Structures are given as structure tokens and as C-alpha cells.
Structure 1
Amino acid sequence: MVSFGSKALPLRRPKHHSIVENSPFSGEDSEYKQGRRRRGMGRKSTKKQKNSNGGCASGSVPDRTLKDKKSSKKHDSAEPETSYVRKQIDPETAKYFSEIADTLEKGELDLEERSIICGNALEESSRKEVELCTDHIISHTMQALLDGCDADHLCGFLRGCTKNFARIATDRNGSHVAETAFYSLASHLLDQEWHSTIEDTLMEICQAIVQNPVDVMCNCYGSHVLRSLLCLCKGVPLNSEFHAAKSSSVLAHRLNLKGDGDHKNDAQNVHQGFPDVLEFLVSEMVKCSTPNIATLQVDQYGSLVLQTALKLLQGQDQELIQIIPVIMGCKMENAEAGNLIEITEAENIRDLVKENAFSHLMEVILEVAPDILYNEIFVKIFKDSLFGISCHHSANFAVQSLISHARSQSQIYVMSEELGPRFKDLLDMGRWGVVASLIAASQRLNAQEHECSRALVSAVTLANESPKCIVPRILLLESYFFSNDKSNWSWTSGSKVHVMGSLILQCLFKYPSGYIEPFITSLTSMESSHVLETAKDGAGARVIEAFLGSNASDKQKKKLIKKYTLHPHFYLPFLSLVSYAFPELLCSVTDRKVSTASQLLKGHFGELAMHPSGSFTVGKCFDASGVPLREAIVSDLLTVQRELSKTRHGPHLLRHLDVDGFSRQPEQWRSRQKSKLAVYKEFLAEFSSAEGDSSKRKNTPADTSKKPSQKTNIKKMRKEIDNVLMSFTASAEGSKKLKKHRIR
């Protein structure tokens, strides 16, 4: 092998070296480890790794994590067992890789030299891959080599690991080496020239894994490597949500709080992937694991692998219909007769869903199952047992997934009839997620909305009680339902708004206004101090935003807003929230009552601007006002200009309002503002008349959809006018400075 560059190391020559002097196992071991850490190649702690992998499927309730620890106790207690004795690395090889590590660590090599050195070293690792990859020290060097070599040497190394890949993947150190190899492969896929070579290499690795997949799947390190391999075969990022979805992301999708577009962006492929390799790996992995499927169903790490595989196959109905029944423990012979789940199998699955690992797995099954399979699961397993399953601390998450992924109005009707009358019991037990999921699903499918709304009212009110108490009790959900004396419960000052209570109300305010009158009445009748506390709380603020964006009438919304215009200290934080959630309403108020707003907010704009959402309010007030109020706003900001410029949002606001220009030349600033307002007015008059003429000419229903684009055009126009005037101002000031300089 030819070396390149003065720093390049040649292939190892058969020389004798001093074991004591040069072996990395000598006294310099601690210094070597510190060098590895400085290079950012240290291992994450085992505890942290387990936490990041364990929360894949859903839920934000703490009692679930307790079950996770119990189910994985056997994995946490000791290192993964191996059925072989790892060979010791000879001192000569250890010295060679120590020298390689020192050379790479110096960082004096260019990319071509580094690539050649890495390639040479990987060739030297032939037939010693297992020993090198599983060594606590040299495994770090192997990671650096795999990260810096070319695709040819990378694939050659992996092919050399094929027979022993399971041993490497299930080792604490080797698993990091395997994942580094996969990340490096993903980067080389940007070059289409290597696509077929990498595909062949991955197929060889998959063929080796499926010989005995259960041991790898149920190993805490092997599970992580397998999930990365599955993501690589699919073409999605190796650290994507398919690997380990965040519970907050799952909950957002489940309650319709995250758009489909966002979800598609998360699932976007970074390369075309290897669909044949993925299908082979999943199908063979499930097929070879069938005798041990009962073990995989209740094993935390095996469940995570199956969850990732199912998510990556979403949309491939034929493959899923073949795989899902096997994962649930059903006999495939039944599928030929169109009967995927037998009665005895359904009973077993109802028991299994109470196991934490299988509950997570069932959530994903319900998410990706084709319609025909979902319906059979719903009818044979969950129907008439929904409440009983919902009572269990782990199984209730599967019910949440079932409800959230309902496919038809008839399914929502059955769910509502069974669970609606038990809302109070579910809330008493702390199963708020089941209630929230049903409310969100009914809104998504426009089914049983009125019934769900009435069921929730009945759950939070006692007989003959006023609806005024409804929203406060949902906002402080845990405080109310866990109180010993509900009849005498009252709002406790300083209480934090319950997250699930906030989510339930956000879902409700998406209903037609006719179905949620009691909730609207309750919110608009709340005491001023309680609404102020709600507006200051992060979860509570979302509720008010949802109400202001709901189908409630403008009169009802303004009732909530005008209630605080008489109290500046209440109005300031509330106005900030209103401007973010309902800017059109704020503009309509300030446009008609400029003098009132000036008197109300004068002296408080600086205080308001210091908060991120408050700066948005200041900008809205500025844009909706005439020159006198604009001057009042900028004058207030001058008092906090230095502090405001140090915040993240402050510089943008100061530029938008041209505070510096006002402080230097107030008269010219006023002139510029008058010019801007005049141009805005002329453009709006012409723009509005043009829109009106076109609507008269066309007069079609489709024309009503142009309102959002009109607002966007006006916003762009305002920005363009500001930029043009600012550029004129800058050029004028620049020319004045130039003249002064010439005179001097």
C-alpha cells in the first residue's frame, strides 16, 4: 500500500516493540482517555442512553417510566452476556493503532492524507475487527477511522465484520463503532456512484443479523444499532423521530395540534434508501423471531425495534398485513380465511396490552395499521372493553392511540357511547389523555362533538351548578379532581395550569361555537385575577389563544378583551397575548380608539417591549397608529433602549421603529413617518378598489379565498415601502457625511 504525504503512516511492518513502553495499556492510559474526551469521542452514559431510547411511543405520564425500569431490570443489571471469549489484542497491533490515534489527533493532515491513513489502518484491522471494535480504548480510534475513510474501505471493513456483526452490535463499545459506520455510510450516499456497493454491503449485514435476530433485538446496545440500520435502509436521518419519537411530538399529532405538513417534513428522506433491503430485513427478522415472539412483545428493547420497523413501513399495506398479526401473536393461517384475529388471541392481546413494552408497540400498530386491520383490531379487541382497558396505567395509552387514529365517524360514535358517560371516572383516575384524545378525534372527524362537549360539562360540574366553574376546574384539572371536597373547591392563587387541562380546552375551542356555549360563558365570566394568572401561565395562555382563534363571535371575544382595558396592569400582559393570537382584533380596537390606547399605554410601552411577545404588541400598536401615538411609543422605548438592545428580539424592534433615528433627528423621523403613512393609505385605497372591481367582475365563490393572500400582499407592501424609505434615508445621510468630510 502506498502512503501519501509526509505525515502519512505506512502499513504496519513486522517489527518488535517494547510492550511496557508503547502499549496503550501502560501508565499513559489515563492521558489517552483524556485525549479521547477532548476530541469529543467520549461515550454517553448508559443511563442517559436508556432514557433517550425508552420513550418512543407516547405519553407524558410519569407512572409509565416506572414500568419501563421494571421491564428492563435484567438489561440494566449487568453488561450484555456473550457466548465467546474475546481475544486479547497483541501489543504490536495495540502500538500501531496508538500511533494512528496520535497522528489523527494532531489534526495536521489534509483530507486526502487523512483518508489514506484511515484506509491503511482499516486494512490492518482485517480479521481482528471484533477485538478492535470491542476494545474500550481502540474502539474510539476505530470510530475516527470509519469517519475519515473513503467508501471503498468503509464497505470493505463492514464486509469483514459481517460474520461477527451481531457480536460487535451487542457490545457496549462495538455498538458505537457500528453506528459510526452507518453514519459514515449515509454521508457517502450523496455520491450515487457508491449506491449499489453500499446496498450490497448492507444486504450482507442484514443476512447475518437475521440468522439470530432475537439476541440483537433484546440487547440494549443491539436494539439501538438495529434501529439505526433500519433508518439507513429507509433513507431517513439516523436520529429521526422513527428512531425514538419524543412524547411531546406524538401528543401534538394525536391532539391535532401539529399540522400534516410538519409531520411530512419530519419524515422526509435524506436519500432514496434501499427499499428491498428494508423489506428483507423486517420480514426475515419477524419470520425468524416467530418462535420467540412472546419474548419480543414484553421486552423493552425488542419492542423498540419493532416499533421503528412498523413506522418505516407505514403506507405499505400488504407488508403490514403480513407482519402485524405475527407481532400480535396471531396465526398466519387465519389470514387466508380473512379472519386475522381469533377470539382466544384477542383475549391474550387484551392482557398483553397491560404490559408496558407491548402497550407502546400496540400504539404504533394502531397508528400504521391498514383500515381493514385497524377495524378488526377495534371490533375484536377493544370494543366493549374500552373503559376497562382505559383504567390501566399502561393500557390507557393504547386506547388513546386507538381513538386518535380512528378512521370513520361510526367508530367515533361507538367510542363516544362507551366512554362519554365515564368521563368523570376517567378524570378521577387521572386518565386525562383518553378524554383529550376523544375530544380531538371527534373534532377531526366531525362526529359526536356535541355529545363529547356535554359529557365533559357533566364530568366537571355538580347538579344544578352554574357553568361559570367549568373552565377554572379544567384549567386546574389535577387540583380539582384530586381534592377531597370538590363541592367547596376554589381557585388557589398561584396554582399552575394543568397541561392536559389546557390541551383539552384547546381541542374544545376548535368545535363549532354552538356546541361549546357553556365553556365560552365560563371563560368570559372568570374573575379578572384568574384570567390574569391564566394569561401569564404558558399552558393557560394557549387556552386564551385558542378561544380568540375559535368560532366564537367577535362580541364574545371583545368582552374578554374590553374587560381589561380599564386596568393597565392587567391589560399589558393580556394585550400581548391578544396581539399574538388575534392581531386583526387588536388592530380593529386600536384603529378606532387611538386616543384611548395612547392614554392607556403611554408610559408602559418600554416595559411591554422587554418581553418577546410584548414586543410583538408594541410593533402592532405602532403599525396601527398615527404619528402622535408612534412618537409616544418611540419615546417610551428610548428609556429602555440600552437594555432592549441586549435582548434577542430587541434589535429588530428598534430597527423597525427607527428609535435611533428619532433620538438623533426627531423632525426628520416625523417626516418619514408621515410619508410612510401617506404611501400606505394611497396603496391601500388603490389595492382595495382593484380587488373590489375584480370581485365584481368575477363574482364567484372562489374569490372569497383570496383574503389571506391579500393580507400577505399588504404585509409585503408595507415591508417594501419601509425598506425603500430606509434606503433613501441611509443614502441621504451618507451623502451628507461625505460632504462634511470633503469640506474638512
Structure 2
Amino acid sequence: MGRKPFRKRAGYDGNHSSQGFGGQMNRTGTFSKPLQHDEASVPHASFVRKQVDPETSKYFTEIANVIEGSEIDLEERAVICGNALEEARGKEVQLATDYIISHTLQTLLEGCSVEHLCGFLRNCQSNFSLIAMDRSGSHVVETALKALAMHLQDTDNQSLIEDTLTTISRMIVVNPVDIMWNCYGSHVIRSLLCLCGGVPLDPSGFHSTKSSTVLAERLNSRVSPQSNNDLKNLQQRFPELLEFLVSEMLSCARKDMAVLRVNQYGSLVLQTSLKLLARQEQLLLDIVPVILGCSSENANEGNLIENTVVQKLLPLMEKTAFSHLMEVILEVAPDSLYEELFVKVFRNSLFPLSSQQCGNFVVQALISHARTKDQMDLIWVDLGTKLKDLFEMGRSGVVASLVAACERLHSHENKCSQALAAAVCAMDESPRCIVPRILFLDKYFSSEDKSNCYWPDGVKMHVVGSLILQTIFRLPCEFIQSYITSITSLEDSQVLEASKDACGSRVIEAFLSSNASSKQKRKLVIKLRGHFGELSVHSLGSFTVDKCFDASSASLRETIVSELVPVQKDLLKTKQGPYLLRKLDVEGFAKRPDQWKLRQASKQSVLKEFYDAFGPPETKSSKNKSFVADANRKSQPDRMQEIRKEIDNSLVNVAPHFGNQFLAHQTSKKAKNSGRKRPRERTSRARDARGGGDLGNKKKKKHNRNG
């Protein structure tokens, strides 16, 4: 029949829809043994499918052949699909739960009009739970919901769709628990929540489990991830319906919450609900205590989490499902609730939690979403002196989160830098070993002879170690001298190897974009002399060449470009190559080197004048011989962006005193008389060929490299 392939989901068992009830997927992606109390508490489905009668089965087989066997225009297709759905009236359960006919139903729902689509869903309302919990029926319902989302593009359909979704929601909240902890029903409810919340109907994508990718995202921003949460920008399609659905589900599920929050599928529904309500602070203050098992009686601000509940929460952090749920709670919790959870539940327990397989991810989330320096003080008391112990336990993610939080909140930055160095380098050892050992964290801490473990051959560099170093190089220069000494002490071959590694190259780039002096940066760039052509055609090394050019003096820039001249044709075949050729003006250098030098000198002169006129006062010093030396204290796009922001702020402050018109006239006149042009901000290029993100650069998050 040419039907769609059956989509196999996580935890799916081809024969038993209730197989996934008790099992818990752990952090490695495998299933642990089911929890005994889960098996006892979760009812197994008792629905028995009814066979479709032969005449109806033959009819839908013929319909499938008509729709899929020939080309039909959209209008005629909609009529055929609508008529076929009319024939399904009263037989929705049998047809939707039939393995073969359910695929035909999906095709009909995708091709019919919105009126027939809503009519089909309303006809299913009395048996909606049975269909949603069936392995075939769940796909039918999800297809219908996705089709509704497409019809929402026409605003005329919104009222009809909202009425239909309201009807379905009222049926779900009668007994939501059975659907929530069913592996198929969980997907259906999450799709419905996403539709009401205005996000794409892909619950697995919207709500993926935590990984190194999530850690990288947490470390990418200088501001609180919670305040920068994209969910806060959601345009909810049906906010009242979403609030009704979540509130009623939790109200009905209150007595089963102890099981739901540790059940894999029930926890996913709760996590999706919380994320979609990230902006609703008052609602979160009401529902989070319910999820944690608190009673609503005598609840008030500062006393939402009962002491009797606190004792039960810490052991639950060892459960995979609950640990994921707690991470989301910490992410979306209002400040007052976060503070109460921090003080009552986590204070003085961070290190024991960090030793747990699942609990350490909760600690990472807690640290990543810390809001104040006072909270960081308490976190540092618990973990600041135990970085080496955390590394030895394999909890490098906790250390990475701690380093990033110190940098983000500007708290304990110097202490953190020193403690990290002490964790990998003894007092009597040279600081040159610091960067290599962090780059090869696993190899170093698993080595029996740590004193001789410096730069292992053929070992892939550590992802989290790279993230830690990238964060370190965002700290003030005076706090990271030992790290600067270490990275500039690398041998030429080691710098070249790191530049070709997905993790190592990001560390090199982070250093070249750091607050280190131009002299220190050029010391590293010189180590790559003779290899710039080789690196430029490398999918990873090309980005390092770009940073090296920005950090170089005039003579070094000439060296870099001269090495790219012989590989121009090869560069044109790479993704980053055309950008490098254009930015470095390789062709111009090859044809007329003297004019190329003049253009470079002219650019530097213009940028220096601009920076002297508009840059921060403390950096306008006679000691700064060139603008490039100053600008390279941060990556050029970051520096220029900050300068422009300062200019805008200055104009806003001056305008009320002198008048906007007068100010605009004077600014225009000054620019005209001086003959200076505003330099263009360097264009950021997409870095899709690489993994992770250039940490600390908000703008480049849009161009981060996948890998």
C-alpha cells in the first residue's frame, strides 16, 4: 500500500504497549530494572481491540490505492479524504488501532479540510484515552494534532481548532494519569501541550535528555540561562487552555504524583508542562510544590517546600526520571522558589549529590542557574575545595558548571582559577602542564604515573576539559597567568595537533580571543608558522587561521597570507575557504603585495582613530601602539559590538541635555569634517563544520558548529 513506515519510539516494545511502564532509562541510555513500586502502582492496559469488518477494511484499502496510486489535485484530494472520514464515523477506535488501516487514516487526516479534521477528533472524544494509549492509535492522534497546527496558519480556523482542543482536553483531565505514564499516551499529551504552548509538535526534540550539548549551551552565555531562556519568548497559541490542561491534570494526579515523577513517561509530561509555563511565575509557585509532593495548606512565600518533603527529595535525585524533572524545575523556578529549594534541599549536600550518577546532573543545573553571588558563596563552600575529588570521580561537568558560574556572576573567579590549576598541577610542578592535563582529563586522572602524563599520543581531547579552558580564558588576564604560560609553552607540533582537533582548536581560539596581551598571543601564533596553508584547508584549522590573523602583527599577517597563496584553489573547494580568501584578500596579496600592505595599514589606522575617539577611556593610553593590539583583548566582533553599544548609551544620555536634533547635526558634521568612515563590523561566518560553540559569544551562538 506504500504506507508510511512505523515510527519506533524510545522504550517501544513491538508487542506490549505497557512494557515501558516500570523501567527507567539511565544516563547512559540503557534501561535499569523496573522500580517495584512502579510496577505495583501503574495499571496495565486492558483494552482489547475489535477487528474491523471485512467490508470496511476493503473500503479503506481501495481508498488508500486511490490516494496513493495516482496524482490528485489538492481540492479533489480533500473531498476524497473528507468522505472517507465520514465513513469512519462510529468506527474510529477500531480503525485507529488497526495497524494497517491506521496508516491510511494518517494520510486522510493530513489531506482533509480542517472541518473534517476537527470532526474526526470530536468523534474520538469518548474513546480518546484508548486511542492515545494504543501503539497505532497514538500515531493517528499525533498526526491529527500536527495537521491542526498546520491549519492554525489560517487565523480563521483558530476558533474551531480551540473548541476541538478544549473538548479533547476535558476528556483527558477526567483520568489523565493512565495516559501520562503510558509510553504512547505520554507522547500524545506532550504533543497536545506543545500545540497549546505554541512550540513545534516534536516532544522528543523539544524535550531531549541532558547531554554534553546541553552543558555547552549552559556555558555559552554570560547571562543567567534562565533569564536568557528562549521559552520566555514563546507566543502561546492557547494560553488559557494550556493553563487549564496542566492545572487540571496535576490536580487529578496529585495522589499519584509520587509514582509519576519517578516514571519515565510521567516525568516527561511534567517536564514539558513546566517548560511551557516558564513565564508564568505565579502558576509555577502553585504547581511545583504539588509536583514535589507538598500540600497546598498553609503554603506561603518562603514556606512552599515543607520540611517533611525535603527529607524525601534528596534520595529521589538518584532516580533518572526525577533528576531530569528537578533540572527543569531549577531552570524555570522563580527566584523565590529557587532560593527556597537551594537553602532547604541542596545546601550542604552538593558534594554527596555530585558523587551520584544522576544527582551530579542536578548539581550542574543548580549551579548553572544560580542567580546571586550569595548563592555562589554557599556553592563555593561546598565544592570549591573539592575540584580534584570531582575530577577523580569523573564529575568534570560539575567543575565546568562551577567555573562558568563563577565567571558569569563574577564571584570567586581568582579562587576558582587557582583551585582548578591546583587540581591538575602540584605545587612543585611547572605550570606548563596545566592546559595539557585539562585537555586530556580522562587520560590524566586514569593514569597511574601522573607525573609523566603530559601529552599522550593519539588520544582524543576531552570535550568538557575544552569547555573548562574556554571559560577560563574569558576570565580577567591577571587571574589566568598560569594558564597563559602553559598554553604558550606548548611545542609547535602540539599546537598544530590541537588546531586540528575539534576540542583543542576551540581552546586555541579562546586564548586568541582572551584578555592576554598581543605579545603572548603572537608567541602562540608563531608556533604555527609554516602550517597556515595546511590548516586553512582543514575543516577545523581554518577557524584557527582566522583567529591567528586577527591576533597577529603586520609582519605575521603577511606571513599567514603568503602561505595561503599556494592553496587558493583548494580553499575555494572548502566551506570556510571563500570567506578566508575574501577576508585576508589573498588574491590581492598575490597580485600586488605592496598595495595589500598599504590597505592593511590604512585599515589599522582607521580602526585606531575610531577606537581612540569612541573607546573606553581607560584603554586610550599612549602605551597602546596600535588599535589591533587593543582590540585583540577581545575578539574583534565582540570589541566592536561593545564599542557601538557604549556609543549608543552615550548618545542616549547626552540627548536630553542638548536636544536630539542638535546632537545629530553635530555628529554628522564631525564625521563629515574628519572624513572618517564607520568601519564595518566583521561578518560572522557560519561554523557548521565544527562542534559545540565559541563560549561567551552570544552572537556566534547563531553560527555554532555542529559536531
Give 2:199's aligned amino acid: V
> 1:221: which partner in 2?
184
> 2:410: which partner in 1?
446
> 2:258: which partner in 1?
294
Give 1:178's aligned amino acid: V
1:417-453 alpha-carbon deviations (Å, 9 max, x no partner): 2101110010001000000001111111111111111
Q: Do 1:580 and 1:613's aligned partners in 2 also have CA atoms closer than 8 Å?
A: no
Q: Do 2:495 and 2:528's aligned partners in 1 also have CA atoms closer than 8 Å?
A: no
Q: 1:708 to 1:605 in 2, by over 3 A?
A: farther
> 2:66: which partner in 1?
103
> Aligned pair 1:468/2:468, yes or no?
no
Q: Do 1:231 and 1:243's aligned partners in 2 also have CA atoms closer than 8 Å?
A: no
> Equivalent residue of 1:333, what SS?
coil
CA distance in 1, matches of 2:428, 2:483: 16
Q: Do 1:468 and 1:525's aligned partners in 2 also have CA atoms closer than 8 Å?
A: yes
**1:560 is matched with which residue: 524, 536, 557?**
524
> Equivalent residue of 1:421, what SS?
coil
**1:196 is matched with which residue: 159, 169, 185?**
159
Q: 1:703 to 1:555 in 2, by over 3 A?
A: closer
Give 2:545's aligned amino acid: S
> 2:296: which partner in 1?
332
Q: Do 2:565 and 2:586's aligned partners in 1 also have CA atoms closer than 8 Å?
A: no
Q: Do 2:89 and 2:120's aligned partners in 1 also have CA atoms closer than 8 Å?
A: yes
> Aligned pair 1:307/2:274, yes or no?
no
Identity %: 49
Q: Do 2:513 and 2:547's aligned partners in 1 also have CA atoms closer than 8 Å?
A: yes
Give 2:287's aligned amino acid: I
**2:547 is matched with which residue: 576, 581, 600?**
581
> Equivalent residue of 2:385, what SS?
helix
What is the correspondence of 1:420-569 to structure 2 with a 5 Å cutoff?
420-565=384-529
What is the correspondence of 1:340-355 to structure 2 with a 5 Å cutoff?
340-355=304-319
Q: 1:692 to 1:159 in 2, by over 3 A?
A: closer
Q: Do 1:75 and 1:219's aligned partners in 2 also have CA atoms closer than 8 Å?
A: no
**1:372 is matched with which residue: 336, 339, 342?**
336
C-alpha displacement at 1:584, in angstroms? Answer: 2.6
> Equivalent residue of 1:560, what SS?
helix
C-alpha displacement at 1:604, in angstroms? Answer: 5.0
Give 1:236's aligned amino acid: V
C-alpha displacement at 1:553, in angstroms? Answer: 1.1
> Aligned pair 1:705/2:659, yes or no?
no
C-alpha displacement at 1:480, in angstroms? Answer: 0.3
Q: Do 1:119 and 1:153's aligned partners in 2 also have CA atoms closer than 8 Å?
A: yes
> Aligned pair 1:85/2:24, yes or no?
no
> 1:162: which partner in 2?
125
> Equivalent residue of 1:135, what SS?
coil
Q: Do 2:26 and 2:32's aligned partners in 1 also have CA atoms closer than 8 Å?
A: no
Q: Do 1:483 and 1:489's aligned partners in 2 also have CA atoms closer than 8 Å?
A: yes
> 1:728: which partner in 2?
none
C-alpha displacement at 1:305, in angstroms? Answer: 0.7
Give 1:342's aligned amino acid: E
Q: 1:677 to 1:125 in 2, by over 3 A?
A: farther
The alignment's TM-score, normalised by the length of structure 1, stands at 0.75
C-alpha displacement at 1:555, in angstroms? Answer: 1.1
C-alpha displacement at 1:615, in angstroms? Answer: 5.2
Q: Do 2:310 and 2:344's aligned partners in 1 also have CA atoms closer than 8 Å?
A: yes
CA distance in 2, matches of 1:598, 1:682: 15
CA distance in 1, matches of 2:479, 2:245: 50
C-alpha displacement at 1:706, in angstroms? Answer: 7.3
The alignment's TM-score, normalised by the length of structure 2, stands at 0.79
Count of paired positions: 617
Q: 1:707 to 1:608 in 2, by over 3 A?
A: farther
Q: Do 1:326 and 1:332's aligned partners in 2 also have CA atoms closer than 8 Å?
A: yes
Q: Do 1:580 and 1:616's aligned partners in 2 also have CA atoms closer than 8 Å?
A: no
1:532-583 alpha-carbon deviations (Å, 9 max, x no partner): 2111111110111111111111111111112332667887679734333354
What is the correspondence of 1:603-618 to structure 2 with a 5 Å cutoff?
603-605=566-568, 611-613=574-576, 616-618=579-581
Q: 1:245 to 1:274 in 2, by over 3 A?
A: farther
The structure with the larger Rg is 1
Q: 1:538 to 1:348 in 2, by over 3 A?
A: same
Give 1:129's aligned amino acid: E
1:82-134 alpha-carbon deviations (Å, 9 max, x no partner): 32322221111111111111111123221111111111111111111111000
Q: 1:425 to 1:693 in 2, by over 3 A?
A: closer
Give 1:579's aligned amino acid: V
**1:622 is matched with which residue: 582, 585, 594?**
585
> 2:350: which partner in 1?
386
CA distance in 2, matches of 1:75, 1:552: 56
CA distance in 2, matches of 1:349, 1:589: 61
Q: Do 2:491 and 2:527's aligned partners in 1 also have CA atoms closer than 8 Å?
A: no
Relative contact order, higher structure (CA 8 A, sep 6+): 2
Moved more, 452-461 or 707-716: 707-716
Which runs of no fewer than 5 residues in structure 1 stay unpaired? 1-31, 51-61, 632-673, 717-744
> Aligned pair 1:183/2:183, yes or no?
no
> 2:699: which partner in 1?
none
Which runs of no fewer than 5 residues in structure 2 stay unpaired? 14-24, 621-640, 649-676, 684-707
CA distance in 2, matches of 1:498, 1:377: 33
Moved more, 617-626 or 232-241: 617-626
CA distance in 2, matches of 1:75, 1:144: 37
What is the correspondence of 1:124-139 to structure 2 with a 5 Å cutoff?
124-139=87-102
> Aligned pair 1:284/2:248, yes or no?
yes
**1:409 is matched with which residue: 351, 365, 373?**
373
Give 2:255's aligned amino acid: P
